[in-house]
Structure 1
Amino acid sequence: MSGDEKTLLPKPPWLRKKLYNNTFNVDRAIEHNGLETICKEAACPNRSECWHAGTATFLILGRICTRKCTFCNVESGTPGFVDPLEPTKVADAVEALKLNYTVITSVNRDDLPDGGAQHFVDVIRAVRERRPDNKIEVLIPDLLGDWEALRKIVDVAPEVLNHNIETIEPFYYYVRPKADYRRSLELFSEVKRMAPSMVTKSGIMVGMGEDPNDVRQAFRDLLEAGVDVLTVGQYLQPTRQHLDVEEYVTPEQFEAYAEYAYSIGFKGVASGVFVRSSYKADELYAQARQKIEMQEELA
């Protein structure tokens, strides 16, 4: 049901976020290099906090997505040409900001033969050439199940390979109509087959009316597929034209989700009202990396 057809849920007192004003350096570096960020395009509630800390998630392959998910604020339609200078531009921004941990994501580019995989590779290589010690997390689309395209990205060894499952399986037909729940799970299985030690990560939103049992089932599905790190956050309606918020999940329920996720074996979990896929990404990576190395030593 659209937001115009019913009264919107009142926001609870815990849904408040401190805003930071000192974001000039990040904003300037992004604008100077003609770049996009998912921070802006997806209306992320953590934008001012992350930018205040000097971090950002770069959005490559343009700002027009070939899919139209009902929760997402990114514009959909027919994308333009891929900018061949974008890898250099991202590397310039990473160097200017002196980042030690960089997150790179993209819109879905189902119009490209490899879904944009080679462009991810080019960006990763450009950033590493400029800042060799910089750790890189990629948040990739499902590449329409093209595992050879996936291999291109895995072979350049980003520290973290992230792909968000976003919601529970029963909701896929209207939340992510062009995506496939099982295909996303298979993506992680393929990553672990290609690179068993690579840190894998996925995220899910809650507050769309899902049953907690279905949420926990999604956790188990992700763990079985090989996911190491899990993020869980509150869905927030970007505009009245997007999917309604059915529930504001309490902080206590988010804590319960985190406890359950850790209890079944995830190596890193962030669960909270404002948690998003890239929130405190460096901390979650370090936590997961340490546990993977400990397991390898014991094997």
Structure 2
Amino acid sequence: MSGCHGPKMKMDPSLHQEKKPSWIKVRLPNDPVFWSTKSLITDLKLVTVCEEAQCPNRWECWGQGTATFMIAGEKCTRACGFCAVKTAKPDALEDDEPYRVAEATRRMKLKHVVITAVARDDLRDGGAEHFQKTIEAVRAMNPGIVIEVLVPDFNDRDWALEMVMAARPHIFNHNLETVERLTPLVRSRAKYDRSLIVLKKAKAMVQGKVATKSGVMLGLGEKHDEILKAMDDLLEHDVTVLTMGQYLRPTPRHLPVVDYLHPDQFAELKQIALDKGFRHVASGPLVRSSYHAADFRPELDILDDIEKATPVAGMDLQPEDLPIPAATKDIVRASVS
């Protein structure tokens, strides 16, 4: 597998629409909060999907003091045709990473955090236990925070998925990414039906007490009726939150952009999805899985059930006991005071 250059394209590269339309605009950072967020992430030696996946909204989100933390390293074992994350042999998991993520949520005073990861097919559990530990560490250090996870499919291993759900995230997100016909071209090793089954199983494992979420990229050559079918399939598998955004090619070695959808088309699809029964829909050219994630709040019964199931009595550790590298006692104590 190749490194940071991306996978070999499996679609005709002549399909690519090189010229971006006027509505594809990225705002550059002009807020001091952006730089303080960047500094914090560097200080705690964390990885964000914002940077690794070249998210077009990272300037905006970091300027608001929010970020999506990518655990389990920055090297993925899959080579999906759309993704900018490096494909390479992953490094060993870092035992203290869950605490560093938790520390970041406290320093940033987050009310909502998104935790994602690369696919770790090299690990027997696909990184599920690492997700579990990170969720638990975040909840212990930042009680009351809404925890959203964006997970790989764990190769549909029920026992691995159960590890994640045992930690009781409030929102379980697994992206369908594209329509059924294009899945073999777009998603390395992933399967359309398997992703749907993982979403349904996750909800069933906690008796429905989790909000389930998924997202699709548009502009890869999908047809309108295929998008509608993907919506119906997600609803049939108990998904209530949907994101839809424009696919943007990270490098010339990635899949071509076949179409740029107009913002009016995204608005139309949003209304269709809401009419079909989705509880919350984010749809627009620059929408990504974590874009304005805190705009959606799970149902009160979900929040209440998780609070009862995961009581937090308070931290027994002192701040200086947390295994955060390159942070002195004074720095850590000040950050959690």
Which TM-score applies when normalising by structure 2? 0.83
CA distance in 1, matches of 2:212, 2:15: 39
Alignment of 1:51-200 (within 5 A): 51-195=62-206, 196-200=208-212
Q: CA deviation at 1:5?
A: 5.2
Check the 8 A contact 1:267/1:291 in 2, yes or no. no
Aligned to 2:292: 280
The equivalent residue for 1:21 is 30
CA deviation after TM superposition for structure 1 residue 21, in Å: 2.5
CA shift, 1:290, in A, is: 5.8
Of structures 1 and 2, the one with the larger relative CO (CA 8 A, separation 6+) is 2
SS in 1 for 2:60: helix
Quote the Cα distance in structure 2 between the aligned partners of 1:165 and 1:7: 22
Say which is worse superposed, 191-200 or 259-268, in terms of deviation. Answer: 191-200
Q: Shift of the alpha carbon at 1:73?
A: 0.0
The residue identity in structure 2 corresponding to 1:221 is: D
1:270: Cα distance to partner? 0.4
Percent identical across equivalent pairs? 44
Equivalent AA in structure 2 for residue 127 of structure 1? V
CA–CA distance in 2 between the matches of 1:7 and 1:139? 29
Instruction: Specify the alignment match of 1:289 in structure 2.
Output: 299
Question: How many residue pairs align between the two structures?
Answer: 291
Give the superposition deviation at 1:4: 6.8
Deviation at 1:197, TM superposition (A): 2.3
Per-residue CA distance 1:242-290 (angstroms, 9 max, x = gap): 1110000011110111011011110000000010000111112x2x526
Q: Is the 8 A contact 2:149 2:171 kept in 1?
A: yes
1:209 — aligned with what? 221
User: Which of residues 231, 246, 257 in structure 1 aligns to 2:243?
Assistant: 231
Q: RMSD between aligned alpha carbons?
A: 1.7
Compare 185-194 and 61-70 and name the one that shifted more: 185-194
How far apart are 1:173 and its partner, in Å?
A: 1.1
Q: Secondary structure at the match of 1:39?
A: helix
Structure 1 residue 222, shift from structure 2 partner: 0.6
Look up the equivalent residue of 1:57 and give its one-letter code.
Answer: T
The DSSP-based 3-state class of the residue aligned with 1:169 is coil
The answer as to whether partners of 2:16 and 2:257 remain within 8 angstroms in 1 is no
Q: 2:264 aligns with which of 248, 252, 255?
A: 252
**CA pair 162-215 structure 1, distance change in 2 beyond 3 A:** same
Any gaps of 5 or more consecutive residues in structure 1? 294-299
- Paired residue type of 2:157: D
Change (3 A) 1:6 1:225: closer
Q: Which amino acid aligns with 1:38?
A: V
Q: Please point out which of 32, 35, 41 is paired with 1:30.
A: 41
